Amino acid sequence: DDGYRLWLKYDLIRDAGPRRQYQQVAQFISVGGQSATLKAAAEELQTGLQGLLGQSVPVLSDAKGRKGGIVLQVDAAAADKAGLGPDGYRIYADKQNLIITGRRDVAVLYGAFALLRHVTTRQPLSGLSISSVPKIRHRLLNHWDNPNGTVERGYAGSSIWKWYELPEVVDPRYRDYARANASVGINGAVLNNVNASPRLLTAEYLPKVAAVAGVLRPYGIRVYLSVFWAAPKVLGGLPTADPLDPQVQQWWKAKTDEIYRIIPDFGGFLVKANSEGEPGPQDYGRHHADGANMLATALGTHDGLVMWRAFVYKADPKGDRFKAASEEFLPLDGKFQPKVLVQVKNGPIDFQAREPFHPLFGAMPRTPLMLEVQLTQEYLGFATHAVYLAPLIKECLDSDTYAQGKGSTVARVVDGSVDKHSVSGMAGVANIGADRNWTGHPIGQANWYAFGRLAWDHALDSKAIAAEWARQTLTTDPAAVQTIADLLQQTRSIYVRYTTPLGLHHIMGEGIHYGPQPWLERSARPDWTAIYYHRADSVGLGFDRTAKGSNALALYKPEVQNLWGNAQTIAPDYLLWFHHVPWRQRLSTGRTLWDELCTRYYSGADSVRWLQRQWAAVQPSVDPALHADVAARLQTQHKEALWWRDACVLYFQTYARRPLPAPLAPPTRTLAEVQRLVDIYQLR
Ligand code: BDP
């Protein structure tokens, strides 16, 4: 198994009993309509059911009194009555057929995939009656893909978008990409990197974008583009990109109209501006809302969005990067036009293995905020470490902002229910590349899958999603599925323990963001070093963000401040995010800070052994090539967990000046020896 088919395998159900039951209700598919989307739904069901059931399943245009089949039909009136919205579907039994219905064709497509999921996870179909409505309207992947085929922070090969071949050559892979996304409800794709090349906006490239859009369209996926703010200068030859300049406004208006002429369902723009060296409206003394609103005006009556990123932080040696986005964006609440969503990363720093939720959530009631999470594992061991991300995403979604009292979770801020927004969105930075198995690490597929499922329904349980994915992707053996789901569920907390326990953050290798480098003291900017964040000294460790320190904690509601403001009562997982704690201080765990830190680094690294044992146990139930691939990656992971452990324990020991607590055996290498390793990774 080379992993190409992802979770859409449709292999024959070997057990004749259940197979026969499914066969009886899947004797034909009838489809009431001709659209490309309904055709795609019927085709997927046909391919899926024929594979699973080993019988031919004809597609008919009319059920004509026949029984024992699946009927696909759009029924707007019934969908509206049932409150299904534009994308929700309903599946139910009627006159001995199974009906899949929704308001639009794409809702029926989602229902078709849901039915297949029912079969691939061996749930009974008789008497089936389910309906499902997505909680989030815009469920997007953000590709950080460059026109030259490289992928920023991509670890699964080059870009799947072959710009040089398009539009004439259309890789069949685009369709499989679309199928996979639609199967989990993803309905948008930003095709290019937020550090955007202006090239995608040229008259030469737009037809290429249109060709991709044409393949994704039947699957309900709209394409979006990241834009380079200074495009009017670079492409239009204007002297400025000032959003208040009429010529600039006119340039964007004309460009937008040009895009919609060839891509009528274009989704809109994603913008990284005045962030990490990218140009933006502030270059002209304007603010983010001026920029976003100018693009919203350019969109005019076209049905499109502006997603304006809040990932901004200026080099300020005295400031706290934690507060940067809030300082720039809080004053702009209420100033954005209705087509604008502000896109906020899950945490205030940068996709670290664990972050407190971003303080903007719940703090901008008059602005719809999109949640951005990173599926590509930039800070989580690339494609060599197994880290299942649903627990990380859920931890953010389930955090209570207390914005409108208890229960104002990030999930409810993002889905619009807290502040009554009708538009909502979630974006996952894609981990997809041209590797045969799409994600490099076979387990990375689970992150793509889980993102889609959670964007559809943030109330889903992360372990249940893991089991569902494993069941469809790796093995049909129930015991092995359970073992794999258990294992996946633990991976993220294990990774945190051997890399950044107790709320440490941003101590990874400079630039590449791989491996440990807590000793990094100098970089192009102070907030790109490690010492800026961990603040180790002879007294203790951690960033004081209470009123005695940077006071970033004051960005949260009082209830959250109470939760995190006291070093004695804060959950240890968040401790060093908010407090500078003496090495000898006793924690709620009963150990001193130093002892607890060492214990976590050691148990984290040991736990990778546990992952290896669990994975070994499922060997008889998993495809041999795939099993061997993951087993080999786990070996690397263990080696590198020891690297992290030794580097961090030895480095922090130079401040703590204490021995390791019994029974932990000190590392067998010196700090200098471990320090060399990251240098090797960074050699040009
Ligand atoms: C950082 C990445 C950088 C991205 C940036 C972003 O290192 O490559 O461009 O995030 O999100 O974490 O804009």
pLDDT value for 530:
98
- Ligand 1 atom closest to the CA of 345, numbered from 1: 11
Query: Is residue 486 domain-resident?
Result: no
Element (H, E) at 400: none
Domain edge (last residue) among 99, 132, 165? 132
Q: The domain containing residue 528 runs over which residues?
A: 496-682
Domain boundary among 76, 109, 132: 132
- Check if 510 has its Cβ closer than 6 Å to any atom of ligand 1: no
State ipTM. 0.99
Same structural domain, 593 and 610: yes
Q: What pLDDT, on the 0 to 100 scale, is given for residue 514?
A: 95
321 lines ligand 1 (CB under 6 A): no
Residue 400: strand pairing partners: 409
pLDDT tens-digit readout, 606-626: 999 999 999 999 999 999 999
Q: What is the dihedral of CA 272, 275, 277, 279, to 10 degrees?
A: 50
Same domain, 110 and 155: no
Task: Please state, as a whole number, how many other Cβ atoms lie within 10 Å of the Cβ of residue 456.
Answer: 23
Is 480 within a domain? Answer: no
Residue 278 and residue 318 share a domain: yes
- The H or E element containing residue 92 is strand 89-94
Runs of H (alpha helix) within 334-443: 390-397, 410-414
| Shared domain check, 517 and 423 | no
* Ligand 1 near 153 CB (within 6 A): yes
Instruction: Say how far apart CA 502 and CA 536 lie, in whole Å.
Output: 14
Question: What is the residue with the minimal CA distance to atom 10 of ligand 1?
Answer: 350
615 in contact with ligand 1, CB cutoff 6 A = no
Residues 456, 575: one domain?
Answer: no
User: According to the model, what pLDDT value does residue 127 have?
Assistant: 82
Residues 455, 414, single domain; the answer is yes
Is the CB–ligand 1 distance for residue 104 below 6 Å?
A: no
What pLDDT digit, counting tens, does each position of 180-195 carry? 999 999 999 999 999 9
Mean pLDDT by runs of 10 across the 684 residues of the chain is 97 96 96 95 98 97 92 96 97 95 98 98 91 98 98 98 98 98 99 98 98 98 98 98 98 98 98 97 98 98 98 90 98 98 98 98 98 98 98 98 98 98 98 98 98 98 98 98 98 98 97 96 95 98 98 98 98 98 97 98 98 98 98 98 98 98 97 92 78
What total number of domains does the chain contain?
3
Atom of ligand 1 nearest to the CA of 272: 13
Do you know the residue count of the chain? Answer: 684
Q: Is residue 428 part of a domain?
A: yes
Domain match, 217 and 71 both: no
The enclosing domain of 554 has a CATH number of 3.90.1330.10
Q: What's the confidence (pLDDT) of residue 386?
A: 98
Residue 194 lies in a domain: yes
Asked if 553 and 647 sit in the same domain, the reply is yes
127 shares a domain with 152 = no
For 599-615, give the DSSP string.
HHHHHHHHHHHHHHHHH
**Do 573 and 532 share a structural domain?**
yes
273 domain residue, yes or no: yes
What pLDDT score does 259 carry? Answer: 98
Residues 545 and 603 in one domain: yes
By alpha-carbon position, which residue is closest to atom 11 of ligand 1? 311
pLDDT of residue 63: 86
Name the domain boundary from 132, 157, 178: 132
The Cβ of residue 683 has, within 10 Å, a number of other Cβ atoms equal to 5
* 380 and 511 share one domain: no
Domain membership of residue 400 (yes or no) is yes
- 532 assigned to some structural domain: yes
CATH value at residue 174: 3.20.20.80
Report helix, strand or coil for 145. Answer: strand
Closest of 135, 118, 120 to residue 7, by C-alpha: 120
- Amino acid, single-letter form, for residue 367: T
User: Tell me, what's the pLDDT at 23?
Assistant: 97
Q: Is the CB of 514 under 6 A from ligand 1?
A: no
> 194 alpha carbon to ligand 1 midpoint, in Å?
8
Query: Which one of 276, 346, 523 would you pick to mutate in the ligand 1 pocket, going by the greatest count of ligand atoms within 8 A of its CB?
Result: 276
The pTM for the full model equals 0.98
Instruction: Determine, yes or no, domain membership for 482.
Output: no
Per-residue burial over 539-548, b = 16 or more CB atoms within 10 Å of its CB, e = otherwise: ebbbbbbbee
Residue 252: both structure tokens together: 């964007």
CATH of the domain at 62: 3.30.379.10
